[in-house]
Amino acid sequence: MNKIKRLCKKYQQVIYTLFAVLVIISVVYFALHGFDSFVKWATTDVGSVADWAGSIGTILAFVAVIWQQGRQENITRAVHIEESRPRFSLTYTPKPVLKTRVLFWGNGRTAVNINEILGSRSAENYRFISIENISNNVVYDYSIILKYHSNDNARVRKDYWSSHGLFPRRSVAIVPKFMGTDKDKIGNYIYDELLVKFTTPANEVGFFISKNINNAQTDSSFGKSQYYFVRGSHVKRVTAINTDKMIDVNSSICSKLDKEFDEIIGITSLGEINENGKLS
């Protein structure tokens, strides 16, 4: 029974089309000739029946061509969507490289303040989280959430950033509102989870999640990552690749992630690292 249901769902468009054709033919004929004429025609006029059968066969062949073309278009669109997905790499750096976009927000966070941070940080203390787009696809829009807390659990935070237009092989560095204590030395704060919501060139919505896998008290503890892509209703046959997962827009996990990003408040400020290693 389940196999029959799957086949019916798979060929749903063909079944509906055939049924519609039969209904239209029946309605037209009955309207013109009535039931008695139909019985007489079907039992005596063999030649006419053959003509009708040939015509129906032609119609069905035409329907089959249309269905095959639609199926191929769906496959082509699905492949385009799958090939338009970005990939991210998380790294940690004391000083972001040239043309890195720096996102910051909150009281006291200005370009001058960021340049002071850049001038005073080294590998021995604070390191920025850098998110690089390592794919060949542009990320149209993206929002970032960082969950973290201080080592003594005195402060627990969730910071937000939003921007658009992350080009291939380009990076974005995020500056948390709270940067720790005691000169921000490694170990005075713990990153718990990083979430990215993004839109691809194919207008597909996705999520990238990276979690602290061992509760390490360092800023380099991210390691367990997962991609989720929201299944759209406009294109069928879109699939997940490798460990990626497809989720429905009404699923609990999609609703949970959307709720996280719906809570984003404030305005993100941004700048870009210039040739002098400063934010401009």
- List, in sequence order, every residue forming a beta bridge with 132; answer none if it has no partner: 89, 171
Name residue 247's beta-bridge partners.
230
Q: What per-residue confidence (pLDDT) applies to 7?
A: 54
Task: Give the Cβ contact number of residue 51 at 10 Å.
Answer: 11
Q: In what order do the strands lie in the sheet with 101-104?
A: 88-93, 128-133, 171-175, 101-104, 269-272
pLDDT band of 156, cuts 50, 70, 90: confident
Query: What is the pLDDT at residue 177?
Result: 73
pTM score above 0.75: no
233: DSSP letter: S
Task: Give the mean model confidence (pLDDT) for residues 31-54.
Answer: 58
d(CA 66, CA 81): 23
Confidence of residue 197 (pLDDT cuts 50, 70, 90): very high
- pLDDT score for 109: 73
Query: In the prediction, which pLDDT does 2 show?
Result: 54
Q: What are the φ/ψ torsions at residue 164 (nearest 5 degrees)? A: -150, 160
Radius of gyration of the chain (CA): 29
Please provide the size of the chain in residues. Answer: 280
How far from 29 is each of 4, 41, 48, 54, 210, CA to CA, in Å? 32, 11, 13, 16, 64
Amino acid at 21: V
Place of tokens 């340049």: 115
Q: Does the pLDDT of residue 25 top 80, yes or no?
A: no
CA–CA distance, 114 with 26 (Å, rounded to integer): 76
Which runs of consecutive H residues, i.e. helices, occur in 147-274?
252-262
pLDDT for residue 10:
56
Residue 261 vs residue 234, higher pLDDT: 261
Retrieve residue 67's tokens: 């269905």
pLDDT band at 235 (very low <50, low <70, confident <90, very high): low
For 178-207, what is the mean pLDDT? 77
* Whole-angstrom distance, CA of residue 194 vs CA of residue 90: 10
Average pLDDT score over residue span 19-24: 66
How far is 23 from 56, CA to CA, in rounded Å?
A: 12
Burial of 219 (0-12, 13-18, 19+ CB in 10 A): buried
83-137: pLDDT as tens digits: 889 999 988 777 788 888 988 876 667 788 778 777 765 545 567 788 999 999 9
